[in-house]
């Protein structure tokens, strides 16, 4: 059970920035292969850039490769190359066995056809035979949970139903190689748990390559990771190392930007520990103080100071706001203020967060200053959870089988 199912050697992909030139390059590629000439050289032509360069890995049955990296890093291109949708510009992919893809499931659905009809069409598109579909039809319908609407044209489906049916078909494929692109970000929680179970069951006898921004998913599923940044492999190896490198990269790649009317300004933002020492790393559940220096050119009554935390998947996970705290802050012209927000237990999930600070009007409509991604804070913990917030609790265990003594 340990044969190599995916082997990528020196994979590279270049794209053209201009549509017109891209078409000419495409025509040239086709003409070259038609006349049996060597493909264009591995150097960049005018207007071209590397979307992916020098990717090498091997994946055996039962292994799972997590592809991580910032948006636009080339992860999806790599998945498309593995899926055979686009050819690599250089290098070679060798795949053994049947390839299944959970990428935009339901892409082949025809809106006018019913769910039943689309199961057969989509099944054929992903390579299932009629007999296989007949046999699995009930399982597909059951998994999707939409028996009631199976004879309704899919254009009347909600987007959730659409994805559920698409996923249900795709998961029935029993592939040797499974490619997944952020698929688990869809559907309701109940359906997601079904999907996890299905993937978990497949993972024992399948080689999986998957793209995700959800680090908890990566740390759970991946046996190795490939961190891609701007088309280059930035890290390759074990999952913990991959995630750590990604966090580092995420922290170093923040590009602060500033918006707002400029009538009030945030002069500085820093994090302090209990000894008033500036820090950028905090243990989960430890106290944290955020200190800001603020000045204003005009008078602002009831100014609203808002600190927001964004995770690696670019999701807003937490906020600390004077509006919610019902703390009135009045700014007067040409006065500099130091404002501290002291958080007793900083309980975000382990990871790196980008921090933005805003000065808003009382009704939160006018943005006086908006320092986007002005700094980062890393939260450390021994274990990584799934949700953004991790409440520290005292866990009390009571053995309910023990006879309870009645003292009264």
Partner 1 sequence: MERMIAEVISSRELIWRLFWRDFLARYRQSALGVAWIILQPLFLVGLFVAMNQAGIFQTTGLDLPYVPYALAGLALWQIFSGGVSSCSLALIEAGHLIAKINLPRSALVFAAFGQATAEFLVRLAITAMACLWYGLIPDGFSFILAAMATLPLCLLALGSGFVLAIAAALFRDVINATTMALSGLLLLTPVLYPLKADSLLAKLNALNPLNYLINVPRDLALHGHSTDLSAYAISVGFALLVFLMGWRLFFIAQPHISERI
CB of 179 to partner 1, least distance (A): 10
Site string for partner 1, 8-47 (x = CB under 8 A): -------x------xx--xx-xx--xx-------------
CA 208, CA 206: separation in Å to the nearest integer?
6
Comparison of 30 and 298: residue with beta carbon closer to partner 1: 30
CA 275, CA 325: separation in Å to the nearest integer?
25
The DSSP secondary-structure symbol of 114 reads B
Other CB atoms within 10 Å distance of the CB of residue 168: 26
Touching partner 1, residues 375-394 (CB under 8 A):
none
Cβ-contact 321, 358 below 8 angstroms: no
Site string for partner 1, 100-119 (x = CB under 8 A): -x-xx--xx-x-xx---x--
Comparison of 167 and 370: residue with beta carbon closer to partner 1: 167
Sign of CA dihedral 59, 63, 69, 71: positive
- Map residue 326 onto helix, strand or coil: coil
Comparison of 28 and 263: residue with beta carbon closer to partner 1: 28
CB of 85 to partner 1, least distance (A): 5
CB of 108 to partner 1, least distance (A): 5
Number of residues that bind partner 1 (CB under 8 A): 34
CA neighbor of 224 nearest in space, from 76, 74, 66: 66
CB of 84 to partner 1, least distance (A): 4
Comparison of 110 and 301: residue with beta carbon closer to partner 1: 110
CB of 274 to partner 1, least distance (A): 52
- Map residue 136 onto helix, strand or coil: helix
Other CB atoms within 10 Å distance of the CB of residue 117: 16
Element (H, E) at 220: helix 215-221
CB of 33 to partner 1, least distance (A): 5
CA 204, CA 185: separation in Å to the nearest integer?
22
Q: Please tell me whether residue 85 binds partner 1 under the rule CB under 8 A.
A: yes
CA 408, CA 403: separation in Å to the nearest integer?
15
CA 113, CA 265: separation in Å to the nearest integer?
57
CB of 303 to partner 1, least distance (A): 48
Q: Please tell me whether residue 99 binds partner 1 under the rule CB under 8 A.
A: yes
Sign of CA dihedral 350, 353, 357, 362: negative
Q: Name which position in 10, 72, 84, 262 contacts partner 1 (CB under 8 A).
A: 84
Q: Name which position in 18, 56, 92, 129 contacts partner 1 (CB under 8 A).
A: 129
CA 198, CA 192: separation in Å to the nearest integer?
10
CB of 25 to partner 1, least distance (A): 9
| Residues at the interface with partner 1 (CB under 8 A) | 15, 22-23, 26-27, 29-30, 33-34, 80, 83-87, 99, 101, 103-104, 107-108, 110, 112-113, 117, 120-121, 124-127, 129-130, 153
């Amino acid at each position: 059970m340990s044969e190599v199912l995916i082997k990528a050697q020196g994979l590279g992909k270049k794209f053209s920035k201009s549509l017109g030139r891209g078409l000419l390059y495409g025509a040239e590629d086709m003409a070259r292969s038609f006349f049996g000439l060597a493909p264009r050289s591995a150097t960049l032509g005018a207007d071209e850039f590397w979307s992916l360069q020098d990717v090498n890995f091997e994946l055996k049955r039962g292994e799972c490769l997590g592809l991580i990296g910032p948006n636009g890093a080339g992860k999806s291109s790599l998945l498309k190359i593995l899926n055979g949708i686009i050819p690599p510009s250089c290098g070679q992919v060798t795949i053994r066995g049947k390839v299944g893809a959970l990428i935009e499931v339901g892409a082949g659905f025809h809106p006018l056809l019913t769910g039943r009809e689309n199961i057969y069409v989509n099944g054929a598109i992903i390579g299932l035979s009629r007999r296989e579909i007949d046999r699995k039809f009930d399982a597909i319908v059951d998994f999707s949970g939409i028996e009631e609407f199976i004879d309704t044209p899919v254009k009347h489906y909600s987007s959730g139903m659409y994805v559920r049916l698409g996923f249900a078909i795709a998961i029935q494929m029993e592939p040797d190689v499974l490619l997944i692109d952020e698929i688990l970000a869809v559907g309701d929680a109940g359906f997601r748990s079904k999907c996890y179970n299905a993937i978990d069951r497949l993972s024992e006898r399948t080689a999986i390559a998957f793209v995700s921004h959800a680090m908890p998913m990566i740390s759970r599923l991946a046996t190795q990771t490939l961190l891609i940044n701007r088309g280059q492999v930035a890290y390759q190896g074990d999952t913990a190392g991959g995630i750590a490198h990604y966090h580092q990269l995420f922290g170093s790649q923040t590009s602060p930007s500033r918006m707002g009317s400029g009538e009030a300004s945030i002069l500085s933002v820093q994090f302090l520990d209990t000894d008033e020492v500036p820090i950028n790393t905090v243990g989960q559940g430890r106290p944290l103080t955020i200190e800001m220096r603020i000045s204003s050119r005009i008078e602002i009554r009831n100014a609203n100071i808002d600190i927001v935390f964004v995770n690696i998947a670019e999701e807003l996970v937490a906020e600390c706001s004077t509006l919610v705290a019902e703390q009135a802050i009045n700014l007067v012209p040409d006065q500099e203020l130091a404002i501290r927000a002291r958080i007793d237990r900083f309980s975000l999930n382990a990871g790196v967060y980008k921090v933005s600070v805003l000065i808003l009007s009382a009704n939160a409509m006018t943005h006086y200053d908006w320092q986007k991604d002005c700094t980062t804070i890393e939260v450390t913990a021994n274990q990584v959870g799934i949700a953004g917030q991790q409440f520290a609790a005292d866990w009390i265990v009571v053995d309910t089988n023990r006879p309870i003594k009645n003292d009264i």
